[in-house]
Structure 1
Amino acid sequence: MRTTARNRPATALAVVLAASVALTGCAPWNEQGTGGRPPVTASPVPEAFTAEQLETAYESDRTVDYVPLLAGFATLESSHPEVLEENLAQTLDINQNAGQEESAAAIIDEYGDMSYTMGDALGEHLGAIYQAAWEEGRLPKTVELIHKDGGRAQSESTNPSKEYFDYDRPYIVAPDEVVYRDKEGGDAYSSTSGSYPSGHTNQAYWQGTLLATLLPELSAQILARTSESGNYRVVMAMHYPLDVIGGRMMGQAAIAKRWADPEFRELLEAASLELHSVLEDECGAALKTCIARDTPYLKAKDAKELYRDRLTYGFEQIGQGGVDMDVPRVAAALLISSHPTLTEGQRIQVLEQTAIDSGYPLDLSVHSTASWQRIDLAAAMNAKVAIDGKGGVHVNGGKG
């Protein structure tokens, strides 16, 4: 099914219940849900990171060449022109049929700091608390890591990859067919840089994935909202769906690198504590209770379905299905906050068992290469996990 932002359900009326079951460690089978943090009762005191913490050269500051991770696009250009034709057709369909509300939201994310604009993913009340605290300087650690311009946890630039693939944007390829959507006096369509991967989507996904890992109790909704930011690039005909998928892959790999760095992880954990403290203090209850009382951005089930649909954008499989998932080892770090008692090997098993099938465009499984395209982070972060007596992982009752 082709998924666009206009397919997303309206703001859900039902309550999102945080599903969190702690591991007991006293039986051959134990269950774990999302998160494992005890309620924070102390009033938050804004305290920024020190200059030394921010200026330290961390191992995860290393520059990564993302071209190999994104290399599936070259296969499409050489062997699957029909996929690139559908890529443009989907773009025009989404762009031409977007409504006024979608268009306005796309423009907001075009120019705004998405670490702020996607605060609505937290729910009506918690989102308002988050955005107010963001504006008023009461989340100094969180904002220092996540903000748009120079956030300490930021991903690398997409420019080297754009230059390597050098693929023209939709509004350059089909200038007379796209609907131009911009604010008055805006310059959204002035860019002539390559289309693949999407830089704005890379930004949305490193920020959104970071926020989801800082607040795993609402990770499904945050990641669904992150996928909206990516889809808005197609709404504006700035990018194609495949650009968005590539931006997701790159942005999530960048944040995995941060969580896998033990020293940098200390900053992430401090920001997570700060964020939980502010939300619980202003809500006046444990976060689980606050979530249950709030009007959610989406029901958790709907959020996970929307997110999963956008992993492939409805493209047909062009490669072999059923290939075993090869999880990039560093990706296991993305589950540290949602499944804190699992080992790295067990977290890899969770990612294996929640991944989508092989063979979709940009998947590298057929080349015996670890595939970021197949990782369903929303499913993995919210997986109920059973651990058997031998330490084996069983997600939601079994593989798949």
Structure 2
Amino acid sequence: MRHLSRPFVLLLLFLLPQTGWSGEALFVSREQIDFARLLPPPPALDSVRQQREMDLLLMLQKERTPDMEAFALADAERSVFRFADAVGENFTAEKLPVAAAFFKAVKENGDELLGPAKKHWDRPRPYAANPAITPCVPKPGNASYPSGHSTFGTLMSIVLANMVPEKQVQIYDRAEQYRLNREIGGVHYPSDVVAGRIAGTVIAAFLFQSPTFLEDYAKARAEVRQVLGLPQ
């Protein structure tokens, strides 16, 4: 190392933490929330409840229209900006770079917390349990319970509703549509979605106790309200 130039050494020192800290700079850690202990197990594959859930999905599949399928497909995108129809047309990533980065960090934190629970229960997707289920959205490559989209939509709606309480009703209604679209899409059972709603709420509660989160949240909130033309 003594033969390396000082600028090169400094560059190495700058780069190494970037890879070493990946996944560590979280607002809430896995040690704080263990969903395998907090959530009930999903219905057993041979249970009456499982069959009832499957029957409901088959009914939704039969009744869904092309417009419903298109809506479910669009909501397969896990982006907070899917809530623009509830918040306002100026709620876009292009106009909100600070908020976009903030919500991306929140999403990644949520994924980090939910991952172990999905692996713990390893529930097969509806279409894996029953070939009569034909999804109209992309098939995810992970387990079914809890729903990651439902967790994400719930978490985003709570944070966003706190930023823009003037649109709280519209935001929470939109979150309900977002969750339901996972059932309409044929990739989640109702119990997956319910568990995701609980998980998203729990994560939000922990986030609002994090000083680091609150600091970043305040900056994103200020930008969102300014772009939407709302008082600070």
Matched AA of 2:27 = S
Question: Does residue 22 of structure 2 align to residue 73 of structure 1?
Answer: no
Distance (Å, rounded) in 1 between the aligned partners of 2:123 and 2:111 = 19
Q: Which runs of 4+ in 1 moved over 4 A?
A: 150-153
Partner Cα separation in structure 2 for residue 152 and residue 95 of structure 1: 29
SS of the residue corresponding to residue 120 of structure 1 reads helix
In the TM superposition, what is the alpha-carbon distance from 1:153 to its structure 2 partner?
6.9
Matched, 1:103 2:69: yes
The equivalent of 1:19 in structure 2 is none
Task: Name the residue aligned to 1:372.
Answer: none
| CA separation of 1:266 and 1:153: change in aligned 2, threshold 3 A | farther
Offset of residue 190 of structure 1: 5.9
| Aligned-partner SS, 1:60 | coil
Aligned to 1:156: 111
Task: Report what 2:98 is aligned to.
Answer: 141
> What amino acid does structure 1 have at the position aligned with 2:133?
V
One-letter amino acid of the counterpart of residue 37, structure 2: P
Matches within 5 A, 1:170-249: 170-175=126-131, 177-182=132-137, 188-189=138-139, 191=141, 193-249=142-198
Conserved 8 A contact 1:145-1:154 = no
CA distance in structure 2 between the aligned counterparts of 1:167 and 1:205, rounded to whole angstroms: 21
Contact 2:78 2:149 in 1 (8 A): no
Higher helix share: 2
User: How far is the alpha carbon of 1:58 from its aligned partner?
Assistant: 6.8
1:250-301 Cα distance to aligned partner (Å, 9 max, x none): 12211211111134212212221221111117xxxx69xxxxxxxxxxxxxx
Compute the displacement of 1:152 (Å): 6.8
Tell me, in whole angstroms, the C-alpha distance in 2 between the residues paired with 1:90 and 1:209: 28
Shift of 1:113: 3.9
The superposition leaves residues 167-216 of structure 1 with CA deviations (integer Å, 9 ceiling, x where unpaired) of 211111111x223314xxxxx1263x321111222222222222122212
Distance 1:96 1:152, change over 3 A: closer
Q: Could you tell me which amino acid in structure 1 is paired with residue 139 of structure 2? A: Y
* Pairing 1:120–2:70 present: no
Structure 1 CA distance for aligned equivalents of residues 140 and 79 of structure 2: 21
For the residue of structure 1 that corresponds to 2:178, the secondary structure is helix
Q: TM-score, with normalisation over the residues of structure 1?
A: 0.47
Q: Aligned equivalents of 1:140 and 1:222: distance in 2?
A: 20
Q: Pairwise CA RMSD of aligned residues?
A: 2.7
Say how many residue pairs are matched: 208
Offset of 1:145 from its aligned partner? 1.3
Q: How does 1:1-400 map to 2 (within 5 A)?
A: 60-63=27-30, 64-70=33-39, 72-73=40-41, 76-77=43-44, 81-110=47-76, 112-122=77-87, 127-131=88-92, 134-135=93-94, 138-147=95-104, 150-151=105-106, 154-157=109-112, 158-175=114-131, 177-182=132-137, 188-189=138-139, 191=141, 193-280=142-229
The answer as to whether partners of 1:59 and 1:261 remain within 8 angstroms in 2 is: no
Alpha-carbon distance in 2 for matches of 1:274, 1:164 = 39
Structure 1 portions without partners, runs of 5+: 1-54, 183-187, 288-400
Compute the TM-score of the two structures, normalised by the length of structure 2. Answer: 0.79
Contact 2:135 2:187 in 1 (8 A): no
